[in-house]
Amino acid sequence: MRQSHESDPDEVEQPPLQTISAFARSVGLSASALRQYGETGLLAPADVEERTGYRYYSLDQQQRAIWIRRLRDAGLRLERIRAVFDDDAAHAETVLNEWRDDAREHSDVITALVDDLILVLRAREVSNPVRRTSARFDAAILASAIRQVAAASADAAGSDEHDGVLIEVGPSSSAIVATDLFVLLARTDLPSTVDGPPTRVRIASAPVLEWLRLRRSVDLVVHAPVGRDRDAASATSRFRDEHGVDLTLPNRPDHFPSVHRMLETTATAPTEARFPLEAVRRIASDQRDGAVSLSVHDAVAQLGSGGQIVSGAGFGASVTLMLSRPALRRIADAAVGHELVCDIRGSDEALVWRAPDQPDFVAMVMPSS
């Protein structure tokens, strides 16, 4: 029964109730939406008149209704809105943070899609429009990252495909990658201020490192043709320092793999082996012939070669495989910190090595046959 507006003088006066239409106008929702929220329990009426079925809402329900409207308009699903209001605060915060992360990722996808479609539309009018991307780096940090990964391409010197270093510019950071197709070293999240769509540039490390010396801030500027008559050979790229001095980068074919795509994993958790970094360096620096064995069994991980054994912690399924000693040496020499971690997903998949003290460092190598 709807509450009566008549009150005893000795009773505390109850706040007035609003009809569904009046309440809908006050919070910016439709009456049909309020009925739906009432049926699902998301926003139940304060009172329902038994005889007529009329719904009435109290003034203290307005704030919840407004939050529901704002969250719904922003794209949050109703079941997640219910969790925000009805679950405990910790779970509500988790739901909101996950939604924000999803929204950021979705925004990046939309931005890339819109940028690409605009270029396609322009190409109908212009035979070869140019797409410009710039990425600003701290010169010292960029140089340090290039030096750290460049050893992976040492055996590719002179190669038309894989010598040098790749700079892979993403939406908000950049990856620095080097590989000779046997070992890949990368820094996957180098700080950079990016303006424009993602792009990739392959550089010769030695002249770039010399040019970066004594500079503080540099912009990588890439102009890439994207129209129907595009020719990759006509793309231009250069570094520009804080004083406007340029270093033109020769146009080199890009046959590098995408490091982020290679790091995409399945839902299956890998077997993990954790070793002290200095111990890995010792066993990898042995100049004798022969590969290095890597095993994980009963929560113990081991690297072994020529009677030398390095022990560490193991997690996951038991596994035994062999590694190239020179490949392991390059990985261990490039890593920093106190520990080296290997993720193992199978004998036919690349091993992923990580240095916890430098979260964006990654190395990849195939097991030896």
Residue 123: pLDDT above 70?
no
Q: Report the pLDDT value the prediction gives residue 154, as an integer from 0 to 100.
A: 66
Cα–Cα distance for residue pair 311/300, rounded to 1 Å: 7
Q: Please count the CA atoms within 13 angstroms of the CA of 360 that sit on its side-chain side.
A: 13
Amino acid at 78: L
Rounded to an integer, what is the distance from CA 92 to the centroid of its chain? 23
For residue 162, pLDDT over 90 is answered with: no
Above 50 in pLDDT, residue 5? no
Mean pLDDT of 308-322: 93
- When mean pLDDT is compared across 33-47, 264-278, 327-341, the lowest value belongs to 264-278
Quick: pLDDT tens for 224-258: 876 555 555 567 899 999 999 999 998 777 777 77
CATH architecture entry for 265-365:
Roll (3.10)
What is the predicted pLDDT for the residue at 74?
Answer: 87
Q: Tell me the domain boundaries of the chain.
A: 17-86, 131-256, 265-365
Taking alpha carbons only, the member of 266, 164, 144, 156 closest to residue 206 is: 164
- The pair of structure tokens assigned to 96 is 């909101």
Return the structure tokens found at 215: 């500079």
The reply to whether domains 131-256 and 265-365 share a CATH topology is yes
Distance, in Å, from the CA atom of 134 to the CA atom of 196, rounded to the nearest integer, reads: 6
pLDDT for residue 7 is more than 50: no
Q: Higher model confidence: residue 126 or residue 132?
A: 132
Pick the CATH number of 131-256 from 3.90.45.10, 3.30.43.10, 3.10.150.10, 3.40.50.2300: 3.10.150.10
Q: Say yes or no to pLDDT of 342 above 90.
A: yes
CATH of the structural domain 17-86, one choice from 1.10.1660.10, 1.10.1370.30, 1.10.150.20, 2.40.37.10:
1.10.1660.10
What is the DSSP annotation of 189-247? Answer: EEE-EEESS-EEEEE-HHHHHHHHTT--EEEEEEEEE-STT--GGG-EEEEEETTS-EE
pTM summary value: 0.65
Most confident of 151-155, 165-169, 250-254: 165-169
